[in-house]
Amino acid sequence: MKLYEFALAPNPRRVRVFLAEKGITVPMVQINLREQEQLKPDFLAINPFATVPVLELDDGRRIAETIAICRYFEATKPEPRLFGHDPYEMGAVEEWQRHCELEGMAAIADGFRNSTPGMKGRAVTGQHGYEQIADLAERGKARATRFFELLDGRLAKHPFVAGDRYSVADITALIAHDFGTRTKVISLDHLANVKRWHEAVSARPSAKA
Ligand SMILES: N[C@@H](CCC(=O)N[C@@H](CS)C(=O)NCC(=O)O)C(=O)O
């Protein structure tokens, strides 16, 4: 088994943190996105969507998409449960993971990819180069900021994103937070509950993965 990933990219980090929480080790193969290795024919044969992470099983079958890969490992090693413990919690984790992905990760990616000079002609992942749209960068920043403001209210009532327990929703939110603040797409200093939650999830050993 091996995981195609890139150590500096946010989505592969989501899988690494998930694996660290599970105590699973998988050999990693680096696809250097800065050198556009994801667009080379060898990698496009592995994933025509030209993105990492991609998991390759020992028999050669592959799974792309962060959450699909995490689901695979939740099934092969259920404990600790990161997709919820009971039917309600499973639904809540799914709901909040999705919010964190769409309103957090994807909105920040819009903010970053549509405004960063090095991303010219690469505003969307994949084989086809899309041009930047400045308005999309602004909209992405606004959406991501509003999402974390909403999350701040939720974290005033719950210790973790999906409720009382740490879950894959916290992993997506942690990496959205770090990606967004590192790239200066968002500034979250004014959000006290997000700050308390971020300190707690960042203190877990898995956050270093
Ligand atoms: N929804 C996908 C997103 C994957 C994705 O966007 N990966 C980025 C790295 S964080 C990538 O491969 N980028 C390639 C590029 O920029 O062309 C997932 O969760 O796996």
Residues 105 and 43 in one domain: no
Which residues in the chain show pLDDT less than 50?
none
Per residue in 9-39, pLDDT tens? 999 999 999 999 999 999 999 999 999 999 9
Q: What is the CATH number of the domain that holds 45?
A: 3.40.30.10
Sorted by sequence, the CB contacts under 8 Å of residue 180 that are 6+ apart come out as: 104, 108, 111, 144, 148, 186, 188
pLDDT of residue 24: 98
CA gap 166, 59 in Å, rounded: 32
Q: Would residue 189 count as lying in a domain? A: yes
* Residue-level pLDDT at 178: 98
Q: Could you tell me the residue range of the domain that residue 64 belongs to?
A: 2-76
Mutate to test the pocket of ligand 1, among 15, 120, 125 (most ligand atoms within 8 A of CB): 125
pLDDT value, residue 106: 98
Same domain membership, residue 191 and residue 94:
yes
What's the 71 CA to ligand 1 centre distance in angstroms? 17
Residues 118 and 21 in one domain: no
Cα(144)–Cα(176) distance, rounded to whole angstroms? 9
- For residue 82, tell me if it sits in a domain: no
**142 and 99 both lie in a single domain:** yes
- The pLDDT assigned to 140 comes to 98
Name the domain boundary from 46, 76, 106.
Answer: 76
Are residues 192 and 95 both part of a single domain? yes
pLDDT of residue 153: 98
The alpha helices in 58-191, defined as continuous H runs, are: 66-76, 87-99, 107-113, 134-155, 168-182
- Say how many domains are in the chain: 2
Instruction: Quote the pLDDT of residue 125.
Output: 98
Distance (angstroms) between ligand 1 centre and the Cα of 199 equals 26
109 within domain boundaries: yes
99 lies in some domain:
yes
Helix and strand totals (H; E) in the chain: 8, 4
CB 125 near ligand 1, within 6 Å: yes
